Chain A
Amino acid sequence: MISTAHRLVNLEDLHQAMRQGRDLLYPSEPKIMIGTATCGLAADAEEVLHAVREEVANSKLPYQVTETGCIGWCSQEPLLDICIPGRPRVTYGRMKPGRAREIVRAIPEVKREWALAMMPGDENTLNGAHVNYCVPHNGHMDGLTAYKDLPLFKRQLRIVLRNCGIINPDNLEEYIARGGYHALWHALRKHTPEEILNEVKRSGLRGRGGAGFPTGVKWQAVRDAQGEPKYVICNADEGDPGAYMDRGVLEGDPHSVLEGMTIGGYAMGAHEGIIYVREEYPLAVMRMKQAIRQAQDAGLLGQSIFDSGFSFEIRVVKGAGAFVCGEETALIRSIEGKVGEPQQRPPYPAQHGLWGKPTCINNVETWANIAVIVQRGGDWFSQIGTAKSKGTKVFSLVGNIENTALIEVPMGTTLAEIVYEIGGGVPNGRACKAVQTGGPSGGCIPADKFDLPVDYDSLNQAGSIMGSGGMIVMDDHTCMVDIAKYFLEFLEDESCGKCFTCRVGTQRLKEIVTRISQGEGKEEDLDLLQDLSWLVREGSLCGLGQTAPNPVLSTLRYFRSEYLAHIRDRRCPAHRCRELITFAIDPVLCNGCGACVQICSGKAILGEKKKPHIITQAQCTKCGACLEMCKFDAVLVH
């Protein structure tokens, strides 16, 4: 939907678009919003959307139905929100088409008994504005918890995710209505590039891709570098398994990335931007391309933006499925149409990047911070966070956790606060064992270290890294040897093969850990793992190889006893490593329902109907399907 028919040239045009956007954001008629980011769609949001549209069409009532991005409440997808003028926004979770129809039919009444939470207004971190949806305490929603009081949202400060789940990502005006593109106007019309650069430096912003290099310093290097043209790249090759914050931003608030990049281009003297998106994110690719078209039509990209004389273009390049392309030099080679092998640094991309020209590469989350820094000032931004890690960080809180969610918290929030308060701890009454941060380059931090504040330096000291922000919570049924094996398989597969130490080192590491997981390990193997890890780290060119041993080293450091249990006792304490476990059926608990027989892939389960079944060990593939199926807890694992 591109409703801007004309170019936005001056502040008055921007205000005009803002008013149009406000009418869409806060319409005078009831509005129904459905979260249709990839995770919502995976949970059938499309069917809910279809049902709601049909119901509204049938009723011939002037309700608005819009799509929105991900508000981050993943465990409750698909989400549906009702906004009735003068009343708080009400959220419903785990929506089904039938129930959605009932909710629509009930308007203007609100089905309170099904509601999850309500939002009496919204805060906007971009300009500090607050919009009240209703008069507070008017009794409309007594007893329903407000978002700001929910443990999941209470501690959050949403700078990067400011618009996700609030605006319709297909609509430029709604982005502008929330203060969007005002920072760009200010930058281009009121400030010199040097002033913008200094503001970014003052903010203390560090790269959110994982390494945490100061953004302002990088920008200065590109600005000072010899050579024309200069390029600005957005790294949206979010490859870390278990991390999806960039997808959240690209799908939920695409213009925030475009605005940040354009401001960056102005500050560094670049006129071309490229967004490199991984191909596994088709919806993000589509949304970004559409946002670029909208911005071009509105004159927010193209020649002489806001009549400032500054011109900037952005295009999308789709990745082709290679984890290593998240490394900046490999990413550049991929854009050039070559295989994504990392290159020696220096020279850094800031001097010798795309096509040999000065290039600035920042990650999606970094770019999404820029407009806020320009709008509110570097000093405001630098008040948030810790001494050396400023601002907020988005995390995907996943794995064995009650509230799986995409959250944004100030730097310095402790792991305990994130896992137990925001995440609600581990489900099913199990104990929390560890949290894995930083993807394959990171490590596992044990639960007794959860008082650790989350910032770049503390996580490094604990043997992990900030990484892009994936946080995978593991309960006591996760085997740490298995986790190390998992990451080594990943890295062996994704190593580009250029450096011998990485290519062969990850293979050998995997073989040793696999041996241990099968109960074939020796105690000397643990020293061998340490030595080999050192070699892989020291002998590899890029970040992938240099950090490849982290998952092994961190699990060895904190969970050595588990390795020893596999080696000495040939036992997997978590009952995960197949070679070390056996499945059996408890004859007392089994009532012979036959559900396990149906699902067994190895045809290993025998028994007559309504009589206790048995597992023939020779046929059992230990897939655990019988355990999943059994409703009577009759399947035992030793």
Chain B
Amino acid sequence: MPEMEAVKPLLAQFKDERANLIPILQEIQAAFSYLPEEALRRVARKLHVPVTDVYQVATFYRCFSLKPRGRHLVQVCLGTACHVRGGDLVLERTQTETGAGLSGTSPDLEFTVEPVRCLGCCGLAPVMRVDRDTFAHLDQAKVRGIVNRYHPRRKPATVDKIAASPEKVRS
């Protein structure tokens, strides 16, 4: 498996200590955008722990994925402040616009859409993060423009990241 060659240097950065399990998995997740099964086996061998232990940790924490994720990670905030300002509707719209649907990842592997429990930008709710960019004061109409910006086959529209006018609240 050629891609496993890339795991070696990642593993070499860490001492063989159990406490390093989560940091190692975080590195692999960042490099591959998911945790390949073979990588988990190698981690288990390195740390001298059963593969089941590694699997348990990999499935417990939200930041790990056992399936390949899309090229762009879209995190739609569902914190309380976003919820009362229609965050759930923004999520739904994002799932439709990206084609990710309820499965989480679009068939073309461009987007993975995940609800996230609070990005801590509650003052600008509703918000979402695409890779490292955070977008504020969203409504359903703005979602399409944001998705288009990251979509390889759509014309990027200028997106106003923050609206100057007060947001219209759903009634």
A residues contacting B by CB (< 8 A) are 38-39, 41-44, 74-75, 77-78, 94, 238-244, 247, 279-282, 317-323, 334-340, 396, 398-400, 404-406, 427-428, 430, 436, 439, 470, 472, 474-475, 477-478, 483, 486-487, 490, 494, 496, 575-576, 599, 601, 623-625, 627-629, 637
Interface residues of B in 38-65 (CB under 8 A from A): 56-57, 60-64
> Assuming A320-B63, A323-B117, A436-B80, what are 19 further A-B pairs, CB within 8 angstroms?
A43-B162, A44-B161, A74-B123, A77-B136, A77-B162, A241-B79, A244-B120, A321-B61, A396-B123, A399-B122, A405-B123, A427-B166, A470-B81, A472-B80, A477-B169, A486-B80, A490-B117, A494-B117, A601-B96
Also in contact, A242 and B170, with CB within 8 A (given A38-B134, A486-B83): no
Residue in B83, B86, B125 with the greatest tally of chain A CB atoms within 10 Å: B83
Binary contact track B11-35/A, C-beta < 8 Å → 1, others 0: 0000001111111011000000000
Q: B169 touching A77 by the CB < 8 A rule?
A: no
Q: A404 touching B124 by the CB < 8 A rule?
A: yes
Also in contact, A241 and B169, with CB within 8 A (given A43-B124, A336-B19): no
B53 to chain A, nearest CB (A): 8
For the complex, what is the distance from the CA of A323 to the CA of B125, rounded to whole Å?
20
Q: A337 touching B57 by the CB < 8 A rule?
A: yes
Q: A470 touching B120 by the CB < 8 A rule?
A: no
B130 to chain A, nearest CB (A): 11
For the complex, what is the distance from the CA of A475 to the CA of B168, rounded to whole Å?
13
For the complex, what is the distance from the CA of A247 to the CA of B119, rounded to whole Å?
10
Q: B60 touching A340 by the CB < 8 A rule?
A: yes
Q: B23 touching A318 by the CB < 8 A rule?
A: yes
For the complex, what is the distance from the CA of A241 to the CA of B77, rounded to whole Å?
9
With beta carbons under 8 angstroms apart, the residue of B60, B86, B120, B166 that contacts A280 is B120
Q: A321 touching B81 by the CB < 8 A rule?
A: no
Q: B119 touching A623 by the CB < 8 A rule?
A: no
Binary contact track B76-90/A, C-beta < 8 Å → 1, others 0: 001111111110010
Instruction: Please give, as numbers and ranges, the residues of chain A lying within 8 Å of B83 by CB-CB distance.
Output: 241, 483, 486
Q: A627 touching B121 by the CB < 8 A rule?
A: no
B114 to chain A, nearest CB (A): 10
Q: B85 touching A400 by the CB < 8 A rule?
A: yes
For the complex, what is the distance from the CA of A320 to the CA of B25, rounded to whole Å?
10
Q: B162 touching A337 by the CB < 8 A rule?
A: no
Instruction: List 7 interface pairs A-B (beta carbons < 8 Å), by A numbering.
Output: A77-B162, A322-B61, A337-B22, A398-B122, A398-B125, A404-B122, A628-B139
B70 to chain A, nearest CB (A): 18
Give the 8 A-B residue pairs with the shortest CB-CB distance, closest first.
A74-B123, A321-B62, A241-B79, A320-B61, A244-B120, A42-B134, A242-B80, A337-B21
| B171: interface (CB < 8 Å) | yes
Q: A398 touching B123 by the CB < 8 A rule?
A: yes
Closest residue of B by beta carbon distance from A474: B84
Binary contact track B87-118/A, C-beta < 8 Å → 1, others 0: 00100110010000000000000000000111
| B148: interface (CB < 8 Å) | no
Q: A396 touching B122 by the CB < 8 A rule?
A: yes
Instruction: Please give, as numbers and ranges, the residues of chain A lying within 8 Å of B116 by CB-CB distance.
Output: 280
